[in-house]
Amino acid sequence: MSATITLDLGILLEVTSKCKQDYANWTFFNVKDATLSVHFDTIANDYFRLLLVDMNTMLSLSKNIKITFWQVFNRLERGKYGRNKISLSDIIRWRELLLTSYQTIEKIKLLRDRKVYYVNDEETCQVFISRDEIEEVLMKMEVIVLEICRILEYPIISIPTVEERANHTIADAFKRI
């Protein structure tokens, strides 16, 4: 197995973990505390933007981004990583899994380039993306990374977030105020 696949998988793992953390922080501040303070609302929107940027990084079709799911799939297909246990049917299945969320991925790309605030009202937005849509794509990203790890026999059974929400220093600081 090539060291390159290990490096690329490490990047996928790291960014997927960041996306999970961004999502957890965003939902924490948005759902729990955004109505309590404009500061919490601002923090929630900052995490929403981070989430969009990180998710777009992994899902973009652009060749300018260092590593994306699509690039890993292409490299696996072409044998750029050398011999490994990942089959062509696995790659096709993962592509199809992500492509079922193509409209959401396009929304992520559109929203990433704008200074947007999450609004849970379809009528007030030019481009509406629901929390469920984001969560679905994030879960698909996680499933794909975990399946790659399982097939390549990396001992990873879950993708941990950077830190638990309850231990988040910003959240703790604001809760003490």
163 pLDDT above the threshold of 60: no
pLDDT value of position 95? 96
What backbone phi and psi angles, to 5 degrees, belong to 125?
A: -115, 145
pLDDT value of position 32? 66
User: Which range has the worst mean pLDDT, 39-43, 96-100, 136-140, 146-150?
Assistant: 39-43
pLDDT value of position 151? 92
Structure-block tokens of residue 4: 């390159």
13 pLDDT above the threshold of 80: yes
31 pLDDT above the threshold of 60: yes
More confident position, 90 or 60: 90
What backbone phi and psi angles, to 5 degrees, belong to 166?
A: -65, -25
* Residues with Cβ within 8 Å of residue 100, at least 6 apart in sequence: none
What's the pTM value of the predicted model, to 2 decimals?
Answer: 0.80
Q: Which domain holds residue 40?
A: 3-176
44 pLDDT above the threshold of 90: no
121 pLDDT above the threshold of 70: no
pLDDT value of position 91? 96
The sign of the torsion formed by the CA atoms of 88, 109, 53, 39 equals negative
- Amino acid in position 96: E
Percent of the residues in the chain that have a pLDDT greater than 70, as a whole number: 72
- Cβ atoms of residues 9 and 149 within 8 Å: yes
The count of other CB atoms within 10 Å of the CB of residue 163 is 12
The sign of the torsion formed by the CA atoms of 130, 134, 139, 144 equals positive
The sign of the torsion formed by the CA atoms of 155, 50, 45, 119 equals negative
Report the domain count for the chain: 1
Cα–Cα distance measured from residue 20 to residue 88, given in angstroms and rounded to the nearest whole number:
28
pLDDT value of position 124? 54
